[in-house]
Structure 1
Amino acid sequence: MTGPYHHGEREVQRRAGLQEEADVSGRAIRDTVPPVAAAFLTQQRLLVVGAADDRGDLWATVLTGPVGFLRAPNERSLSVAARPAPEDPLAPVLEGPVHLGMLAIEAATRRRMRMNGTARPHGGGLLVDLDQVVANCPKYIQKRTPPEADAGPPPARPPARRSDRLDPGQQRFLAGADTFFIATADEHGRADASHRGGNPGFLQVLSPTRLRWPDYIGNAMFLTLGNLFVNPRAGLVVPDYGTGTTLHLTGTAEIVWDADAAASGGTGRMVEFTVTGVAELPGTLPAGWSPPAASRFNPPVAAAGSRSAA
């Protein structure tokens, strides 16, 4: 580690020419939850988590609950009163201790909070000992409001669909997505979860097993790309806010440098993702979120002649 960063993060910062900016941003990285963040957590209904399974494949998923299902019992821990559905790729992993990357995100206010730590089962949920806490900016978050909480019993879940490649319907869904979440980890398995957003079409579908997306201008920390520099495994979860279905992908990712300026949003950086596993889970999220209001920071989506949704 070099200050708050490991060597992969430092190398990406150096290559991007943003080391000084990263040093400034790094002052926001801490290992405790400040009081304002603890209050934010108690109001949330959604938590993105990412971790590696017993084969080392990384997956991301979404945990949901009523207001209050997240709380910080002290400044170094997070209590989560939820577990994934049995068919979720991370359900077996969370039966025991595991390092989790986490992101609490409130799309209605474009606020998000990133946390990493070691989780263990606790009651019907999880207790996480935190080792990294980071507040992130509101860029590229599409504003949308969840439906009112339903106190009734959850509906029966249709079975999950699994594959090693994307079918045509899944490809069309991804090509129109404006939001996804990504799980990565460093070479020691310390996981992280992050948000990616843009105008529909920013996530390019190149084939049934190949995706590409731009790395837009951010806070210069490069926590995600720094992990990919030392460990190419990654997992994505893409929510369908209308139906409540989530599409989970695992595979490997590669940083593309010197990419087309327009396609990359001006950074020259893109990420190409090779799909090795797919799980489509109905009923993960409450269905019927409001239509999105696009972030004013979203760059225009450049025409991509190589994109295919076939």
Structure 2
Amino acid sequence: MTAGYHPGERAVQRRANAVDRADHAWRAIRDRVPRVAADFLAERRMLVLGARDAEGRIWASQLTGPAGFVTAVDETTVAVRAHPAPDDPLADALDGPGPVPLGTLAIEPATRRRMRLNGLATPTGAGLLLRVEQVYANCPRHIARRAVTHELPPARRRPEPIRTPALTPTQRELIAAADTFFVASADRDGPVDASHRGGSPGFLRVLAPDRLCWPDYRGNAMYMTLGNLERHPAAGLLVPDWSGGTLLHLVGHAEVDWSPERAAVFADAERVIDFHVEAVLERPAASDLRWSPTTG
């Protein structure tokens, strides 16, 4: 498979002097689900999603279920046996006629393993059917170790969601304590990607009620998220409260600051991403899973 990066990814790779590393990294991308990847998927309890809503905004969300709720039907098809809840920002998009571009991330915090699967999703009676176009693993850097401690009944009554145009003080506290968040981005009207970001609490910083920033570290040189933002700045963030199950969804637009002065604020950072909040959706206790504190 030859390198097939889109122009935004190539532009970022060139600016970061990483074209050779990116071409080498491309060899790890497959358009099939290998057996080792299928086995990994079959054990997952959570799947992170990235997709557009009916207005074209890009959201990050998640689905959960028992081990086996995500399975590889064959080498090119993955079945997800779960539906977004009615208050999920992607509920309408993923319950429509399809197919829709969908980015997914399967992650196992306990062993710090993660894998991305991107493609086209079609709703089914049981959930979603993903026709895979890209499959690849990511390195374990910046993944905080934690494990599922228990699961709440899916049919329980959940608090009403909270919608605001900017971050409330409580939401800012949740972000300040976060060691993990997920970001969804897309190449204009094309493929969508869902990615993990991690670090010590405080690495995701609130600069104002409608503005955040986070550091970007040296990685695999693919620059898929930054490449998407180069061409299309719309993005969505998902900040989970692991112990309480609250899911904080932010939608807005992001831009990369390449200045060494900004990067120097964060240890080992190569650049900084600024995120401008356009809407906030807080879903208290939305996740059925409860997770342990970090174990290192």
TM-score by length of 1: 0.91
CA deviation map 1:141-160 (0-9, x unaligned): 0000012445x553211111
Whether contact under 8 Å (2:33, 2:135) holds in the other structure is yes
The residue that corresponds to 1:269 in the other structure is 271
- CA shift, 1:4, in A, is 2.4
The residue that corresponds to 2:106 in the other structure is 104
The residue that corresponds to 1:139 in the other structure is 141
More strand by share: 2
1:125-274 paired onto structure 2 within 5 Å: 125-149=127-151, 152=153, 154-260=155-261, 261-274=263-276
Paired with 1:169 and 1:267, the residues of 2 have a C-alpha distance of: 28
SS at match of 1:92: helix
CA deviation map 1:82-110 (0-9, x unaligned): 11110111001111211101000010110
SS at match of 1:94: helix
1:78-93 paired onto structure 2 within 5 Å: 78-93=78-93
Paired with 2:265 and 2:118, the residues of 1 have a C-alpha distance of: 31
In the alignment of these two chains, the number of paired residues is 292
- CA shift, 1:262, in A, is 3.1
SS at match of 1:22: helix
Paired with 2:154 and 2:117, the residues of 1 have a C-alpha distance of: 30
Whether contact under 8 Å (1:4, 1:29) holds in the other structure is no
Whether contact under 8 Å (2:117, 2:135) holds in the other structure is yes
Cα 1:265–1:26 shift into 2, 3 Å: farther
SS at match of 1:29: coil
Is 1:16 the counterpart of 2:19 in the alignment? no
CA deviation map 1:258-291 (0-9, x unaligned): 2434324434311000000110112332353111
- CA shift, 1:30, in A, is 1.2
Paired with 2:4 and 2:135, the residues of 1 have a C-alpha distance of: 11
SS at match of 2:91: coil
Whether contact under 8 Å (2:213, 2:274) holds in the other structure is yes
SS at match of 1:147: strand
Paired with 1:279 and 1:53, the residues of 2 have a C-alpha distance of: 14
Paired with 1:287 and 1:74, the residues of 2 have a C-alpha distance of: 28
SS at match of 1:38: helix
Whether contact under 8 Å (1:243, 1:288) holds in the other structure is yes
The residue that corresponds to 1:31 in the other structure is 31
Is 1:66 the counterpart of 2:60 in the alignment? no
Structure 2: segments with no counterpart, 5+ residues: none
The residue that corresponds to 1:7 in the other structure is 7
The residue that corresponds to 2:44 in the other structure is 44
The residue that corresponds to 1:293 in the other structure is 295
Q: Structure 1 counterpart of 2:224, which letter?
A: L
SS at match of 1:3: coil
CA deviation map 1:36-91 (0-9, x unaligned): 00000000000000111111111000100000000000010110001111011100
- CA shift, 1:194, in A, is 0.1
Whether contact under 8 Å (2:150, 2:290) holds in the other structure is no
Paired with 1:287 and 1:117, the residues of 2 have a C-alpha distance of: 26
Q: Structure 2 counterpart of 1:101, which letter?
A: G
CA deviation map 1:95-153 (0-9, x unaligned): 12111010000101101010111111111200011111111110100000012445x55
Paired with 1:178 and 1:82, the residues of 2 have a C-alpha distance of: 26
Paired with 1:33 and 1:43, the residues of 2 have a C-alpha distance of: 15
Whether contact under 8 Å (2:148, 2:292) holds in the other structure is yes
Paired with 1:283 and 1:91, the residues of 2 have a C-alpha distance of: 17
Whether contact under 8 Å (1:147, 1:286) holds in the other structure is no
Paired with 1:153 and 1:270, the residues of 2 have a C-alpha distance of: 38
CA deviation map 1:164-199 (0-9, x unaligned): 110011011111110000000002331000000000
SS at match of 2:178: coil
